[in-house]
Amino acid sequence: MIAQTYLSELFSLDDRVAVVTGGSSGIGRAIAEALARAGASVVVVARREAELAETVGELGAQGCRAAWVSADLGTRDGVRAAAEEAAEVFAEPDILVNCAGINLRPPMGELGEDVWDTTMAVNLEAPYLLGQRFGPGMAERGFGRIIHVTSQQAHRAFVQSGAYGVSKGALESLARSQAEAWSPYGVTCNTLVPGFVMTPLNARLSSDPEKVAALAARTMVGRNGVAGDFAGAAVFLASRASAYVTGQAIFVDGGLSVH
């Protein structure tokens, strides 16, 4: 009983409101579920209504409090509209998770301005705009958690990082700038750095058994990641337990980055 009380004080998200972009599939969905099961009221933001409805329906069946907002995060107007709609569902959020992303990686010599602009809009500008919308309110209330999901390509170039790697590297810099601005007021800002995770976003690689096996061999645990591997780290970064952790890139990669 003492242990349960202690853990609840550290990690419970009761009475917290979370907004999770990209929360209808892959890592984002696993994080949305983890936050909801830890007690948060979760608003899932993504494009496809069928996937959103399925995700929220499953969360509701588990007794969680969840809702969804369909949005195009590739335009400034779409991001702003999504932010306002999400804030009206439960309340202004205490937790913002930016997981929505696109993974367009043509060879560098073929990288056009259209791919560059689209990648930066979704992977970098949307998290910036959402942070600008919600961060100051979190700081005013004295508690907030901003979590970005980045990539190994933020730290090293491989498998044609292209604009994708640039966007994720910049996103980690954004987290540090947000931490500098708002951490004195109780708002921590961190990134989760996946290894290779078997999700729809990585369909190009996950469809090749040889590449999948080679990537697993590069880890220390001998396997590639699954979306559920991010549940514990996300709850930690969203909770009171992480009050002294900010501006950090936390690798959830089975040791791939240090092997």
Q: Hey, which residues are catalytic here?
A: 164
Contacts of residue 218, defined as CB under 8 A and 6 or more positions apart, other chains included, come to 256, 259
Three-class DSSP category at 246: coil
What is the enclosing helix (H) or strand (E) of 231?
helix 231-238
Q: What are the Cα distances from residue 18, in Å, to 112, 164, 186, 194, 223?
A: 35, 26, 16, 21, 30
Question: Residue 26 burial (CB < 10 Å; 0-12/13-18/19+)?
Answer: buried
CA distance 229 to 223: 12
Three-class DSSP category at 229: helix
Contacts of residue 84, defined as CB under 8 A and 6 or more positions apart, other chains included, come to none
Handedness of CA 257, 246, 149, 52 (dihedral sign): positive
CA distance 194 to 252: 5
Buried b (16+ CB within 10 A) or exposed e, 84-101: ebbbebbebbbbbbbbbb
For 9-22, give the DSSP string. Answer: HHH--TT-EEEEET
CA distance 199 to 26: 5
